Amino acid sequence: MNYEHWIQHFHANRLDRPEPDWEAPFSMPEEKRRLLALSLAEYQLGDGGGECCLVAADAESYRGSAEDARQVVDLWFAEEHEHSRLLGRAVERVGGTFVTTTFGFELFYAIRRRLGVQFEMLVLLVVEIVSTGYYRVIRRHVGDKPIADMCKLILRDEARHIDFHRDRLAFRHPGGVGRLWKWQMHLLTEACGWFLWQGHGRALGTLGGTRQELFGHIRSGVVNFLAELAQCRANAERPARDPRAKHWIQAIS
């Protein structure tokens, strides 16, 4: 796998990152502010907070497979830690209180630790797809430019994280993924989306978002991901002389 491409991407992505104007005037109805503060504080913990690394018992089997792989994983999690910093500023902006643990956070880490690094990577991919739905709903409805700008910046990062997972899985499954794997992907995404709505639905609803809107983003995200993963295989199977195959052939060389 072309880890060098992703190392270059993560280094370049540190540039041109306009910081939201956290000092801009802030006004929000109290109930909306209170629920948003609770939601952002929990997300701040989960999105780059805590142990910001692979935590599966066999994580070193992936990180240690190559020095480039270790660098990519470290750079990826450094970007997730940056999301936690941004969310922390948003929590401060809405007058929230930081949290150090939740039931969902502890469950998430328990699953990641026990089921192996490949399943952990799959779970992290699912969470990133689901999180894009969360940030899209907030960005559309929050009515506060600095927080909307934060969501835009995180969404930009998450889109490329999902692309990284696509390339990783295409390299790991050169023959394509089967129906069972796709079914597992859909099931995990639905479960994660349901869990998110249970914990954050009141906040999103108070902003003006709906469950249908959130799940619309989540479901289209997983469908698009699977379509792009299939396209990677199709591109790889084209003859090397086909100019359309150039990008993917480079990506898996």
The class (CATH top level) of 29-252 is mainly alpha
Asked if residue 241 has pLDDT above 60, the reply is no
Phi, psi of 200 (to 5 degrees): -125, 0
pLDDT tens per residue, range 175-229 = 888 899 999 999 999 999 999 999 999 999 999 999 999 999 999 999 999 999 9
Q: Rounded to the nearest 5 degrees, what angle is found at the Cα of 28, between the Cα atoms of 213 and 105?
A: 55
Asked if residue 247 has pLDDT above 80, the reply is no
The predicted pLDDT at position 236 comes to 62
Average pLDDT over residues 57-71: 83
Cα 92 from Cα 98, distance rounded (Å): 9
Phi, psi of 25 (to 5 degrees): -55, 140
Alpha carbon of 236 to those of 7, 41, 152, 222: distances in Å?
22, 43, 32, 21
The predicted pLDDT at position 32 comes to 96
Domain parsing of the chain, residue ranges: 29-252
The residue type found at 216 is G
